[in-house]
């Protein structure tokens, strides 16, 4: 799927990707689920001028999350790789992110080029294999960052993890 000026795949409610082989090339956000975005399997290759994967619901604290449970996800984004209004959760599968060209790039002070950004939290665990190369923070949360399993490899232009992972 190619969308030169807009989001690649959008849902006005929740969005679940359970399998298949999807390639998205978007002029804005790659894949956006308003209420939530869940990936449980398949292969997802996203190239986006803005955020790669995103959830935007801010009116309900139980929504606005991105949950990657399985599959193989590759993201090349101009802004954040994965961005959620509440939490980014990665508990399975493989996630490879290059945000805004990677750790060697410089971004404007008002730009956001984080690998995984959860406005509330970022959680990595179980069997997840996460690789992030970001021009800004590798993992970023306004609340907590928790790594309880899996493997995480980070390269960042500023801070690998904000706040410090527990």
pLDDT band at 108 (very low <50, low <70, confident <90, very high): confident
* Count of the separate structural domains present in the chain: 1
Residue 43 lies in a domain: yes
Residue 163 lies in a domain: no
- Residue 140 predicted with pLDDT over 60: yes
Q: Which burial class, exposed, middle or buried, applies to 55 when counting CB atoms under 10 A from its CB (0-12, 13-18, 19+)?
A: buried
Cβ proximity of 67 and 45 under 8 Å:
no
Q: Which pTM value belongs to this model?
A: 0.93
- Residue 29 predicted with pLDDT over 80: yes
| Section 35-54 average pLDDT | 98
d(CA 57, CA 137): 23
Residue 153 lies in a domain: no
Range of the structural domain that residue 104 is part of: 2-145
Instruction: Please report where in the chains the tokens 């907590």 appear, as a residue.
Output: 144
Within a 10 A sphere around the Cβ of 158, how many other Cβ atoms? 15
The pLDDT value recorded for residue 107 is 86
The pLDDT value recorded for residue 87 is 98
Tell me the average pLDDT of the chain. Answer: 93
Q: Count CA atoms within 13 Å of residue 108 on its CB side.
A: 4
Residue 152 lies in a domain: no
């Amino acid at each position: 799927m190619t969308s030169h000026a807009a989001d690649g795949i959008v849902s006005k409610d929740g969005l679940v990707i359970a399998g298949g082989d999807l390639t998205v090339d978007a002029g804005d956000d790659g894949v956006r689920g308003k209420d939530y975005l869940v990936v449980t399997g398949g292969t997802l290759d996203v190239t986006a001028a803005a955020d790669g994967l995103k959830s935007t619901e801010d009116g309900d604290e139980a929504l606005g999350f991105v949950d990657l449970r399985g599959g193989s996800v590759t993201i090349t984004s101009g802004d954040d790789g994965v961005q959620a209004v509440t939490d980014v959760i990665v508990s399975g599968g493989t996630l490879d992110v290059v945000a805004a060209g990677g750790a060697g790039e410089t971004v404007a002070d008002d730009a956001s080029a984080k690998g995984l950004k959860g406005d509330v939290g970022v959680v990595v665990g179980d069997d997840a294999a996460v690789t992030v190369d970001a021009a800004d923070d590798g993992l970023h949360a306004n609340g907590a960052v928790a790594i309880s399993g899996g493997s995480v490899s980070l390269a960042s232009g500023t801070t690998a993890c904000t706040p410090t992972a527990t």
